[in-house]
Amino acid sequence: MSTKKPIFKGTATAIITPFKNGKIDYEAYGKILEFQIAGGVNAIVVCGTTGEAATLTDAEHREIIEYTVRHVNRRVPVIAGTGSNDTAYAIELSKHACEVGADALLLVTPYYNKASQKGLVKHFAAIADATSIPNILYNVPSRTGVNISIETYKELSKHPNIVATKEASGNIAFIAQLIDECGDDLYVYSGNDDQIIPLMSLGALGVISVLANIMPAETAQMTKLFLDGEVQKSAQMQLKLLKLINALFMTVNPIPVKTAMAKMGFCDVEMRLPLCEMDEKDNEKLYDILRRYGLIK
């Protein structure tokens, strides 16, 4: 029987990072955090893919983690994205997140230089050994070019600090095998909004969500319904939200969700290159979907 405790069950928001005139817009960010908490999300993930962590400076990365912890003030767990393709840097950033009071870490697989499966075990074990809070692995092969194998997952699940994974491989058969092989030694969260309920039906505990940025209450409700045994209702919500979910991935995340948040009045539609604004015709397609869901007029 595993002694590992889940960091959260339900919905965690992979939160955007709002920018204004090239800097992090903390006024907008604070309001976004309040919108999330008021919506009933179960955790906040800062400095993930959706937070444009790749283009944050080291100082910004540390500062926004610290700000998030302070602002959220223990109302929900704060999960800090501190992964890197440089193990030493990931350890440094992860230690800082521990020091400032983050509740858990989100650790993406090394990108660009990639790693062998043996290298992945060494990389994640080194971070887990150096940190004092739960580690969540993040498998997103479409972005990193590397996939964590079942055998590697099984090996990593033995580490007491490695408690979960965010699975964004999109491969339901693979994730089913992962849940079967690792059980409670490694909890699973969906990394894809279009697969929340399918993966929860296999044993996943919830989602780390892009959709929750614009619909925190609805996303939290969908996962809560499932956890409360209202499986059919949760599945109906998944289907009902599918067109909106697909629209949020019409181009590279987080471009559409940030465009949506800007249109909803939360922030400026400002991204850091190489991410850039969509063409007007794509904006209109997105706005049309947002209107259909009652998010804008």
The tens digit of pLDDT for each residue in 242-263 reads 999 999 999 999 999 999 999 9
Within 10 A of 151 (CB to CB), how many other CB atoms are there? 11
| Confidence (pTM) | 0.97
Low-confidence ranges of the chain (pLDDT < 50): none
Give residue 1's pLDDT. 61
Which residues are known to be catalytic? Answer: 138, 166
Q: What CATH homologous superfamily does 10-228 map to?
A: Aldolase class I (3.20.20.70)
The H or E element that residue 165 is part of is strand 162-167
Which residues have CB under 8 Å from 170's CB, separation 6+? 142, 192, 195
Please spell the DSSP secondary structure of 233-275, one letter per residue.
HHHHHHHHTHHHHHHTTSSSTTHHHHHHHHHTTSS-----TT-
Give residue 110's pLDDT. 96
85-137 pLDDT, tens digit per residue, is 999 999 999 999 999 999 999 999 999 999 999 999 999 999 999 999 999 99
Give residue 3's pLDDT. 82
Which residues have CB under 8 Å from 286's CB, separation 6+? 247, 250, 256, 259, 260, 263, 278
Which residues have CB under 8 Å from 78's CB, separation 6+? 43, 44, 46, 65, 68, 69, 72, 101, 102, 103, 104
User: Distance of alpha carbon 256 from its chain centroid, rounded?
Assistant: 16
